[in-house]
Amino acid sequence: MTIQTVNTVPFAGQRPGTSGLRKKVAEFQQPGYLENFVQAIFDTFPDIAGQTLVVGGDGRYFNREAIQTILRMAAANSVGRVLVGQGGILSTPALSCIVRKHGAFGGIVLSASHNPGGPHGDFGIKYNIGNGGPAPERITEAIFTNTEHLTAWRISDEGPVDLDRIGTSRIEGMEVAVVDAVADYAELMQQLFDFGAIRALFASGFRMCFDGMSAVSGPYARTIIEGMLGAPAGTVINGTPLEDFGGHHPDPNPFNAAELIALMDAPDAPDFGAASDGDGDRNMIVGRGVAVTPSDSLAIIAANAHVAPGYRAGIKGIARSMPTSTAADRVAQALGVPCYETPTGWKYFGNLMDAGLVTLCGEESYGTGSDHIREKDGVWAVLFWLNLIAASGKPVDTIVREHWARFGRNYYSRHDYEAVDALEADAMMVQLRAGAGSLAGTRLGSYTVDYADDFVYTDPVDQSLAQKQGIRIVMTDGSRIVLRLSGTGTEGATIRLYLERYEADPSRHGIPTQEALAELASIAGHLAGIGQRTGRDRPTVIT
């Protein structure tokens, strides 16, 4: 077989977003489009020759074809060994686990996470560094710069690898090892959680429903929850990864996981419900009649970390993305550990974890995790809640209400305006940015503004700076309005409006969330001119 050098010209717009490069499948299928970006990754690392790389994806449409291309390009760029998940499947947390366990140079994740799949859906690719986490901005910018100047890419003309058979083969001088997609990850989970206690919980008649949303976490949940923990067959629904996610929008929130929410609201509901997203790094926790917000889930896990064997010695600190509610801050204060506020994007947690500053991290977009890997981890969060329920003997709703009684309730919601005109969205942010500095002391309805700014983050480890990370309007009582543009969409722009109101009085913890936040939503809409900018009188999705 021979290595071919194919001349090319740059494609516009290959700058990675919050979690890699995400575009419509049709765009990735353009001749040379995927190849250009992959070559730009390899060109960023001149020392990759002879190294080990991990490759896998969430099984969405175009996943297998992309993996075959990446394998032949890796061989042509002198990579020494590639570990690839059986069937081309690896959840994002599992890929991080394998990179770390096997000391790999890095990994390539093929996923658009919670975005829709199928021929007319989305596809994505991102690079993870040797700690198992997403590449930091200095590396993604270097990749982008390479895409702008690329003149050729290299590829072997070797035939396809059998991705369904575990074992080894070779492309040119490179070894390809097809590995069990679940085994290493499941082994790590056994080290963190009390599987004996959880098995006893299921043996007692405890019932659960895990919605895999026809995405990548299904095989992991079946192996661990039904297989290793003894939950009855059928506990996992929608557990087979499908190229179009079975028509599901694989974003685990009450809007998209309507089947699970309806089940948990029914008179004969299981004791516990959970869901995960396209690539397995997000989670939703549901009790009978109650969906736990991601912000509350992070805070509750932090407050109860000691119940899981892997965290029995306590936690070093907590980190949360800026739009995530301040519920975790209150827990950190009670525990006497630091709480770091970062921009949105899991890559910002990596330095904090590597430096030993934090143990637990969370984002409001249904992402929770710990320093066991360097990605958020949907199945991990579900297992923690199972461990907590087993240790406490309490149902989800009781755990949540007792947490609120101790720490207060942070009413919290996100309003998404999807696929809006990008120019209007950008103009809105420019206007807000210009006016933020003059809002301090202003009376807005029944609230008074304490301060307002465009969030800037200085990494405490390497002093790197991230600017223009979202508008914060913080009231004197701790209530907050946050506005930012999403970096994960593929059409137009998505405006994300985050609303938060703190309530210490337990007698006022039962107000419907949108009712409790209605005044803040009205204030935000007026300040930002959302209706005029979008031409809409309501959000696309409320979570």
Closest CA to 471 of 421, 523, 429, 426: 429
Q: pLDDT value at position 331? A: 98
Is the distance from CB of 248 to CB of 222 less than 8 angstroms?
A: no
Q: Is the sign of the CA dihedral 17, 296, 510, 400 positive or negative?
A: positive
Query: SS3 for 17?
Result: strand
How does DSSP assign 178-236, residue by residue? EE-SSHHHHHHHHHHS-HHHHHHHHHTT--EEEE-TTSTHHHHHIIIIIIIS-PPTTSE
pLDDT of residue 409: 97
Could you say which of 96, 113, 321, 413 is catalytic?
113
Question: What phi and psi, each to the nearest 5 degrees, are found at residue 28?
Answer: -65, -25
Same domain, 323 and 213: yes
Instruction: Give me the amino acid identity at 5.
Output: T
The span from the CA of 365 to the CA of 114, in Å, is 10
Q: Per the structure, how many domains does the chain have?
A: 3
The CATH number linked to 144 is: 3.40.120.10
Q: End of a domain among 378, 407, 436? A: 407
Of the residues 407, 426, 460, which one is the last residue of a structural domain? 407
Strands (E), 258-381: 272-276, 283-287, 290-292, 318-321, 339-342, 360-363, 367-370
Do 60 and 114 fall into the same domain? yes
Do the beta carbons of residue 56 and residue 162 sit within 8 Å? no
Question: What is the C-alpha separation between 159 and 13, in angstroms, rounded?
Answer: 31
Residue 330, both tokens? 């209150």
The CATH number for 515's domain is 3.30.310.50
- In this structure, the answer to whether residues 331 and 450 fall within a common structural domain is no
The first and second tokens of residue 458, run together, are: 């200085």
pLDDT of residue 491: 66
* Residues 176 and 189 placed together within one structural domain of the fold: no
Answer yes or no: do 317 and 367 share one domain: yes
Q: Residue 114's pLDDT is what?
A: 82
Query: 483 and 391: one domain?
Result: no
Q: How many other C-beta atoms can be found within 10 angstroms of the C-beta atom of residue 2?
A: 9
Q: What is the pLDDT of residue 509?
A: 97
Cα gap 272→285, rounded to integer Å: 8
Instruction: Give me the DSSP letters along 245-289.
Output: GGG-----STTT-HHHHHHHHSTT--SEEEEE-TTS--EEEEETT
Can you tell me the distance from the alpha carbon of 192 to that of 310, in angstroms, rounded to the nearest whole number? 4
Structure tokens at 526: 């007026």
Judgement on whether residues 438 and 295 belong to the same structural domain of the protein: no
CB 432 within 8 A of CB 483: yes
365 and 226 fall within a common domain = yes
Residue 106: per-residue pLDDT: 98
- Please check whether residues 316 and 440 belong to one and the same domain: no
Domain final position from 181, 215, 236:
181
| 153 and 12 within one domain | yes
Q: Which residue range is the domain that position 318 belongs to?
A: 185-407
* CA atoms of 393 and 387, how far apart (whole Å): 10
Residues 153 and 294 both lie in one domain: no
3-state secondary structure of 477: coil
413 and 402, same structural domain?
Answer: no
Q: What is the pLDDT along the chain (543 residues), one digit of tens a residue?
A: 699 999 999 999 999 987 799 999 999 999 999 999 999 999 999 999 999 999 999 999 999 999 999 999 999 999 999 999 999 999 999 999 999 999 999 999 999 988 889 999 999 999 999 999 999 989 999 999 999 999 999 999 999 999 999 999 999 999 999 999 999 999 999 999 999 999 999 999 999 999 999 999 999 999 999 999 999 999 999 999 999 999 888 889 888 888 999 999 999 999 999 999 999 999 999 999 999 999 999 999 999 999 999 999 999 999 999 999 999 999 999 999 999 999 998 989 999 999 999 999 999 989 999 999 999 999 999 999 999 999 999 999 999 999 999 999 999 999 999 989 999 999 999 999 999 989 999 999 999 999 999 999 999 999 999 999 999 999 999 999 999 998 655 567 899 999 999 999 999 999 999 999 999 999 999 999 998 898 888 999 898
Q: Which two tokens stand for residue 487?
A: 């970096």
Q: How far apart are CA 191 and CA 539, in angstroms?
A: 42
Residue of 444, 507, 510, 504 lying closest to 480 (CA atoms)? 444
Active site residue 113: yes
Going by C-alpha positions, the residue among 445, 502, 454, 450 that lies closest to residue 482 is: 454
